[in-house]
Structure 1
Amino acid sequence: MRILFLGDVVGRAGRECVLARLPGLIREWKLDLVVVNGENAAGGFGLTEAIYDELMAAGADAVTLGNHAFDQREALVFIERAPNLVRPMNFPKGTPGRGAALVEAKNGARVLVMNVMGRIFMDPLDDPFAALDDALEGAVLGEMVDAVVVDVHAETTSEKQAIGYHCDGRASLVVGTHTHVPTADHRILAGGTAYMTDAGMCGCYDSVIGMDKEEPLRRFTRKIGAGRFQPAEGPGTLSGVAVETCDRTGLAQKVMPVRLGSGLDEARPLCWEQ
């Protein structure tokens, strides 16, 4: 199975590059599953139903969230009727939505998509390790499901790496989001799980993690803000990770970074090129 995971979509620049490129990549790379983190897609903060529908229409099979999951208040309502929209599963009991979704891939495979949020320098949510254990116990890779994708929305590399090792052999891919900067540590762990500490973002890289540079610079240099952060308006770059799994075991066989656009040096899965 061929899986493409795209990092945090930030504002209009991120949406436009995903909507423009994704349908062609699905055809060119013969993708079976596409997962997109959409938690910054609406003006940099949260997700609206209209944007969710656009991402799904462009070819996403599931959309994950994070700490900005409910910044757009309408998400509290529409998440209940969006079965492939996944918020962190370690939110408190009673939070609207779901932390895991069993998704039918484009090739008919059964894929469990999960989202957890870290607790270091983040909101103190429930234990993400225990939440993952509960979910994985009922979804044995290669038996009950054909693939498992885990989006770890967290601040620190140490917590993301720990979750990667914790899920090794039980997930097809564990990938970090939230920090918006792609890391160079994509690899297959000893148990067969593909791992990358951060997929980066889909957005304008002539920015401070996707936001127009003026306000972050003002706050860093003067400690006084003059307004809210606004997404940068320059050309968008698509960033993420591509994984190929074994059809029998669901474990990873290949993992490759994806960076398409003028903001970063290009990276693409050349073995998938026609």
Structure 2
Amino acid sequence: MKILFLGDVVGNIGMKMIKQYLPILKRDYKPQLTIVNGENATSFGRGINRKVYKDIMDSGADVITLGNHAWNNEEIFDFIDETKKLVRPLNFPGKDVPGNGYTIVNVNGKKVAVINLQGRIFMDPIDDPFRMIDELVNKLSSKVDNIFVDFHAETTSEKQVMAMYLDGRISAMVGTHTHVQTNDNRILKKGTAFMTDAGMCGPTDGVLGMKYENIIHRFLTQRPTRFEVEENGGGIVSGCIIDIDNHSMKAKSIKKILISPDHPYQG
């Protein structure tokens, strides 16, 4: 089984890149399951709305994951409970959190659980991701064939520790949130595919998708600055393709995907 995963979609340029390249990537890699992180996909770079959700799905996504900006657009409350294809972090605190922290997708007779999880280091206060993923994996392990985790977290150490904690219990874990693709895609000792961060799908000429002038001003003055999505220049598509053995359910390979002005798509 092949799983295609693309990192955080940022703003209008990110959406343009998704619409242009996701159908091409699906044509060339032929994944059975396609997952896209869409938590920055609105024009202002935070949250998701119904139109953006539909556009990403129409471009070829099977599941969309979110992150710490899940609630930044109030429109999400109007439709997140209507679909099982939009997954918010499992460990948001509270008893009546809208939406779901995971979904189960049927893929050619196999059941794949797609889980969204959020870290705690340098992030807003949230429930313990280790405890909650432990409980959920134990619950799902006898009910599904594969488990994929999008761990939306700030630090490389928290993401690496989580992957090693889950090694052998899930098929793959890929990190999101930092918008910079890491070069450590590998199979862990017990068969779990891992990559610290998939990177982003968005503008190349800003800082993590935002206009760099405002961010420079913030570093120079240490005063609050309004972040604005970069609307000009080139775009980037970052992610990975994971191949999972249909018999052992362990990962066979994880290869990064990077398309940018410096890395044109070769097919």
TM-score over 0.5 (shorter chain) = yes
Q: Look up the SS of the partner of 2:112 in the other structure.
A: strand
Quick check: 1:118–1:159 contact (8 Å CA) kept in 2? yes
Quick check: 1:242–1:257 contact (8 Å CA) kept in 2? yes
Quick check: 2:120–2:153 contact (8 Å CA) kept in 1? yes
Number of matched pairs: 265
Letter in 2 for 1:24: I
Residue in structure 1 matched with residue 119 of structure 2 by the alignment: 118
Letter in 2 for 1:144: K
Cα deviation per residue 1:49-86 (whole Å; 9 max; x = unaligned)?
11111111111110000000010001122111121111
Distance 1:227 1:127, change over 3 A: closer
Residue in structure 2 matched with residue 11 of structure 1 by the alignment: 11
Quick check: 1:88–1:117 contact (8 Å CA) kept in 2? yes
RMSD: 1.6
In structure 1, what is the Cα distance between the partners aligned to 2:89 and 2:8?
Answer: 14
Residue in structure 2 matched with residue 100 of structure 1 by the alignment: 102
Q: Look up the SS of the partner of 2:163 in the other structure.
A: helix
Unaligned runs of 5+ in 2: none
Residue in structure 1 matched with residue 27 of structure 2 by the alignment: 27
1:75-224 counterparts in 2 under 5 A? 75-92=76-93, 93-105=95-107, 107-140=108-141, 144-224=143-223
In structure 2, what is the Cα distance between the partners aligned to 1:130 and 1:80?
Answer: 24
Unaligned runs of 5+ in 1: none
Quick check: 1:258–1:266 contact (8 Å CA) kept in 2? no
Distance 1:124 1:256, change over 3 A: same
Quick check: 2:211–2:227 contact (8 Å CA) kept in 1? no
Letter in 1 for 2:98: P
Distance 1:37 1:198, change over 3 A: same
Residue in structure 1 matched with residue 228 of structure 2 by the alignment: 229
Letter in 2 for 1:139: L
Letter in 2 for 1:229: E
Cα deviation per residue 1:203-253 (whole Å; 9 max; x = unaligned)?
112210011111111111122345442234322111001100000122100
Cα offset for 1:266? 5.6
Cα deviation per residue 1:166-207 (whole Å; 9 max; x = unaligned)?
111111111110000000111000010000000000011221
Cα offset for 1:108? 4.5
Quick check: 2:204–2:260 contact (8 Å CA) kept in 1? no
In structure 2, what is the Cα distance between the partners aligned to 1:167 and 1:184?
Answer: 20
TM-score of the pair, normalised by structure 1: 0.92
In structure 1, what is the Cα distance between the partners aligned to 2:230 and 2:251?
Answer: 34
